[in-house]
Structure 1
Amino acid sequence: MNTETLRNWIRAADGRRLEAHSAPPTAARTGGDAVQAELAAARKRIREPEEERDILRKAARYFAGETRW
């Protein structure tokens, strides 16, 4: 690998990191109510797959305990 290529990648990554820190917080740009609503919707979307995962884990435990070879 060429050392200049690696140096360019590092510079690009540093530039992105600096831009991310300089952006204003989301709550200041959109208002607190919109952020809270978005957060509630995200939590709701996350809750469903977690419940499905828990059900599948319980079923796997049940069936693993049921089979005695």
Structure 2
Amino acid sequence: MKQMRKIYDRAFKEKAVRIKPQRTNVSELAREHGITAPQLYKWKKEYLEFGLGSFPGIGNVKQTPEQEQIALLEKRLKDANMERDILKKAIGIFSKNGH
């Protein structure tokens, strides 16, 4: 019989990762939370690499805060360019009808 995989929410993972520096025995801490020590190390590594972008959930991309900011700015630029192109077309249409 196949064992079901446990899914832990973001708050649980962040709590476990933040407690770790205060504790010397990682295996004991992991057992207390019902996880394995390698899992706790993996979460800690992810948290150190991605910070607030860690543990985004199923199907979401992990991003550092800088990567999130870049993605947001790229989206805003794309929207601004699209608005500009629409306005250019509108000016072209109105200038033809005005003469």
Instruction: Give me the TM-score of the superposition, normalised by structure 2.
Output: 0.35
- Bigger RCO of structures 1 and 2 (CA < 8 A, at least 6 apart): 2
Q: Return the structure number with greater helix share.
A: 1
